[in-house]
Amino acid sequence: MDPAADRESEAKGANDLANDRWQAEETDIAGIFRWLEEREEDWIRLRREFHRRPELLFDVDRTAARVAELLEQGGLEVRRNVGRHFGKGVVGVLRGGRPGRTVLLRADMDALPIREAEGAPCRSEIEGAMHACGHDAHMAMLIAAALGLSRFREKLAGTVLFVFQPAEEGAVPSPTDGVLRSGGRDMVESGAADEASAAFALHVWPQLPVGEMAVHRREAMASSTHFQVSFRGRSGHHGSPHLAADALLMAAHFVTEAHSAAAAASDPLEPFSLAFGKLRAGTVGNAIAESAEVSGTYRAFADDTVARIRSVLERCAAACADRFGGSSETRFRMGKALINDQEAVKLALRAGASVFGQDRVRLLEKPSLAGEDFAYFLDKAPGAMLLIGVGNEERGIIHPLHHPSFDLDERALALGAKLHVQLAVDALSADAEPQP
């Protein structure tokens, strides 16, 4: 693939996506599906545009501006700078020709601090950043659905909110109160989901082949809580350890003891995972470390387990610091388990069967210990997250999410857009209303 030629094609097609007004007389969902299928190359170009220019966490100004531009060109009302603490989200509002319920569809915009593998057919141009979780595809699918549904607006009874959030992959201390917040939580706290009576999101899933869809029966993803523990001691010479307070020792003991203490405090019949990802201490090999920091995550499904493990980690950090004459400070980004609504799952299965075929839709019983802050939206409205297949073994598209060689079969883009459309249309109909 020639990147320069691909960019030229991208510029030719993507900027005019929303200006290409649908002239056909068809206003049924089959007509929208045909419109989406005919423009499959447009959605591929758009996904590659996002892929080449990834942005991290809340630093998504360029991406958010592009999303807002396309939604406005498509005739949607656009709310920019959504979020109580960071103000980086975008919401497109499509009001139907008749009054009715409000359905929320969400995509995420941020990438990961991962260096993409050499030789990728469409490689990131930002060194050290990569859309390794498919958020570029999520955006392309939802924009395509928004533009398609906008040509159907007079037939819609209700409103569709197209929500594009930053910082799904992590959290940043709020400039207001210092609490670690992800993008989904920030947008929900700003009221972005208050109008919704149902909410849905898609996530690309490389374990599923392209052309298939899956949804969890109830528990979908775990409450992924991130923590940082800072230890403060006193630096000193290795020859006089009694005059110092070793922050490295505090951190080392915390890592081993916290793991055991958390396991002992957890119900052995409930899924639970605790892991450490980063340990930083000291500045030189022959001096006692004055400070140390440990970061990690823990994952569970029950709210009481999440709270109990936090308490265990706080007590363990304080005890380890005190033992070696220092102090500790803990900071948490509290997660929330993603629990699908029963009626929303039924609706999702029907919508999936309409788009993929009955034999290409799976109902999953076993949850994932991955985390997803779409859970905050489901706190406001019943709904579900659906998994859309993007794998293709024959083409070597086999790598998992968050891998430097992650890729996806782009035929999934039009399918995902059609699935968004079907979900919105079905959820807006009175007889398909998910009940809390």
Binding site per annotation, positions: 133, 135, 169, 203, 402
In a shared domain, residues 153 and 183: yes
In a shared domain, residues 209 and 232: no
Question: For residues 48 and 71, what is the distance between their CA atoms, to the nearest angstrom?
Answer: 18
Separation in Å, CA 279 to CA 211, 247, 252: 42, 11, 9
CATH number for the domain spanning 198: value is: 3.40.630.10
Give the model's pLDDT for residue 188. Answer: 97
Give the model's pLDDT for residue 24. Answer: 33
Give the model's pLDDT for residue 15. Answer: 53
Domains identified in the chain, total number: 2
- 198-209 and 98-108 strand pairing: parallel
In a shared domain, residues 265 and 149: no
DSSP state letter for 234: B
Q: In what helix (H) or strand (E) does residue 347 lie, and over which residues does it extend? A: helix 342-356
Residue 337's Cα: distance from chain center in Å?
Answer: 13
Domain assignment of residue 435, yes or no: no
Domain assignment of residue 175, yes or no: yes
Question: For residues 388 and 394, what is the distance between their CA atoms, to the nearest angstrom?
Answer: 18
Domain assignment of residue 174, yes or no: yes
Give the model's pLDDT for residue 8. Answer: 54
Which of 333, 359, 389 is the last residue before a domain boundary? 333
Domain assignment of residue 146, yes or no: yes
Three-class SS of residue 300?
strand
Domain assignment of residue 4, yes or no: no
Domain assignment of residue 23, yes or no: no
Domain assignment of residue 144, yes or no: yes
Range of the structural domain that residue 302 is part of = 225-333
Q: In what helix (H) or strand (E) does residue 349 lie, and over which residues does it extend? A: helix 342-356
Binding site per annotation, positions for Mn(2+): 133, 135, 169, 203, 402
> Which portions of the chain are predicted below pLDDT 50?
1, 11, 19-27, 432-436
pTM: 0.88
Give the model's pLDDT for residue 121. Answer: 81
> What single string gives the DSSP state of each residue in 69-90?
HHHHHTT-EEEEEE-SSS--EE
Which of 276, 306, 333 is the last residue before a domain boundary? 333
Q: Which pLDDT tens digit goes with each residue over 290-342? A: 999 999 999 999 989 999 999 999 999 999 999 999 999 999 988 899 999 99
CATH number for the domain spanning 309: value is: 3.30.70.360
- 89-95 and 157-165 strand pairing: antiparallel
In a shared domain, residues 189 and 45: yes
In a shared domain, residues 38 and 119: yes
Which of 313, 333, 353 is the last residue before a domain boundary? 333
Give the model's pLDDT for residue 429. Answer: 87
In a shared domain, residues 295 and 351: no
In a shared domain, residues 199 and 321: no
Question: For residues 348 and 425, what is the distance between their CA atoms, to the nearest angstrom?
Answer: 11
Domain assignment of residue 16, yes or no: no
In a shared domain, residues 205 and 86: yes
Q: Crossing angle for the helix pair 29-38 and 40-52, nearest 10 degrees? A: 60
In a shared domain, residues 305 and 260: yes
In a shared domain, residues 73 and 137: yes
In a shared domain, residues 104 and 247: no
Give the model's pLDDT for residue 240. Answer: 95
In a shared domain, residues 216 and 104: yes
